[in-house]
Homo-oligomer: A and B are copies of this chain.
Amino acid sequence: MEIGILGTGMVGQTIGSKLVQLGHDVFMGARDADNPKAIAWAKKEEGQRALYGTFTNAAAFGEIIFNCTLGSASLDALHQAGASNLKNKILIDTSNPIDYSKEDLILSVCNGDSLGEQIQRAFPETRVVKTLNTMNCNMMVEPAKLPERTNVFVSGNDIDAKTTVIGILREWLGWKSVIDLGDITTSRGVEMLLPLWFSLRRVVPSDRFNIRVISS
């Protein structure tokens, strides 16, 4: 499949490389067409399948788009990508609304709203599915590296889009236990998990951890 990745950081690179390895054509988009991190990533993948260019190029290329930009830059990046290039497509939003201008961990939106909802409102003809934002990027593509099965969550308004994304999580990324939380407003819960994640990060041995929901 042809996949667009918005963002050149660890999340974009990790997901992009995993999808290239699976045989997909992956286009990594950045603000500038000659982003050094995107160039280095495409070179490292050494194939025909890893391409790079602007956010606009990546969004136009992809049948499915991953938003892997910093949350603080996501809406700008998506506007650069262009509503017409995102129209009717599935946008898998992995971002977290961290305000890096603050010393403490502060979310730029929460508590009655979320970045997932802001994106869905800004691009009403795009089918936004929030997922994968609750863990380190290595966990995203290798959930089986943990000694026990853990959970990934999905939030979104479009049932068919969520079904497709759940398939991607299961078949491509190896997630055995996907929890559909409901509509895009449930992005609030997974984004507001971030402060607990950062607290846990300081007390567990590494960033290779995740949560599992256990019910009776």
Chain A interface (Cβ within 8 Å of chain B)?
102, 104, 106-107, 110-112, 145-148, 150, 153, 179-182, 186, 188-190, 192-200, 202-206, 208-216
Contact = CB atoms under 8 A, between A and B. Distances in A.
B213 A211 contact: yes
A79 B105 CA distance: 30
Contacts of A181: 196, 199-200, 202-203
With most chain B CB atoms within 10 A of its CB, the pick from A153, A195, A211 is A195
Contacts of A194: 192
Nearest to A211: B211
A208 to B, nearest CB: 4
A215 B209 CA distance: 4
A214 B148 contact: yes
Contacts of A199: 181-182, 186, 189
Nearest to A179: B203
A162 to B, nearest CB: 13
B211 A212 contact: yes
A214 B147 contact: yes
A179 to B, nearest CB: 6
Contact of A146 (B147, B193, B196, B216): B216
A126 B49 CA distance: 61
A187 to B, nearest CB: 9
A214 B107 contact: no
Contacts of A197: 189
